[in-house]
């Protein structure tokens, strides 16, 4: 896939999946704009200093003004990939309103505001573009969200946003899709679940490959899809 000279925003780009996506993008020729909140995130980012990577400080991706500033600095924008989010495991009986709103802010509000900013930025180019969101397996399989209902609901909202927006902006040549990972094979997840079958988990590089296709010019017809990326799990 050829991303030569195409500008792509990758939120959550300093995390495990985000790093895999950014690495694949720069190898395909893209210029990656990676927002970060904590200075430590930027310091440990493996692609820090790469000529095709622009690290962008941001205070909060659930803040409208902050998101607007991030996207105002990217021109022309071809694609926006929204990986930023958070996870919490807690039964409903123990979930406070604050817990719920934190998941909504981290997962749904960030995706919504970044989608909005991306649609406006891509529309200004008149050349079309791509948006890829990150849902989750429980967003498609609600029963699997038992014990993490706030997270599940926030990711289900991301899935619904993706499909509705895809229909809304298809006429503008903007194709919107999402991937829905199961548990990813990352060092953090292995440490949290040492007895799990790690070999069955999808690898971040494999999920990144799916995201890369959906965000690429090679994707000419796929829109409104929530693509399961479960590996063998």
Residues tagged active-site: 151
> Quick one: angle between helices 110-125 and 149-169, nearest 10?
20
| SS3 sequence of the chain | CCCCCCEEEEECCCCHHHHHHHHHHHHCCCEEEEEECCHHHHHHCCCCCCCCEEEEECCCCCCHHHHHHHHHCCCCEEEEEECCCCCCCECHHHCCHHHHHHHHHHHHHHHHHHHHHHHHHHHHHCCCEEEEEECCHHHHCHHHHCCEHHHHHHHHHHHHHHHHHHHHHHHHCEEEEEEEECCCECHHHHHHCCCCCHHHCCEHHHHHHHHHHHCCCCCCCCCCCEEEECCCC
Please, which contacts does 39-46 make with residues 24 or more away whose CB atoms are closer than 8 Å? 41/14, 42/14, 44/14, 45/13, 45/14, 45/19, 46/19
Tokens of 78: 């071809």
């Amino acid at each position: 896939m050829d991303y030569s000279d195409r500008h792509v925003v990758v939120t959550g780009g300093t995390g495990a999946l985000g790093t895999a996506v950014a690495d694949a993008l720069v190898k395909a020729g893209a210029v990656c704009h990676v927002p970060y909140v904590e200075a430590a995130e930027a310091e440990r980012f493996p692609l820090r200093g790469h000529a095709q990577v622009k690290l962008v400080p941001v205070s909060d991706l659930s803040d409208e003004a902050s998101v607007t500033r991030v996207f105002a600095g990217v021109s022309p924008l071809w694609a926006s990939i929204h990986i930023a989010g958070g996870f919490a495991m807690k039964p409903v009986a123990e979930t406070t309103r604050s817990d719920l709103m934190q998941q909504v802010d981290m997962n749904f509000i960030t995706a919504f505001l970044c989608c909005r900013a991306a649609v406006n930025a891509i529309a200004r180019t008149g050349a079309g573009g791509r948006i890829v969101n990150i849902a989750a397996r429980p967003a498609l399989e609600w029963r699997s969200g038992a014990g993490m209902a706030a997270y599940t609901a926030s990711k289900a909202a991301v899935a619904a946003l993706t499909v509705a927006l895809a229909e809304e902006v298809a006429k503008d040549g903007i194709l919107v899709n999402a991937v829905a990972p199961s548990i990813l094979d990352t060092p953090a997840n292995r440490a949290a679940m040492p007895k799990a079958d790690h070999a069955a988990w999808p690898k971040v590089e494999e999920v990144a490959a799916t995201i890369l296709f959906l965000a690429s010019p090679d994707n000419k017809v796929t829109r409104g899809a929530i693509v399961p990326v479960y590996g063998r799990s």
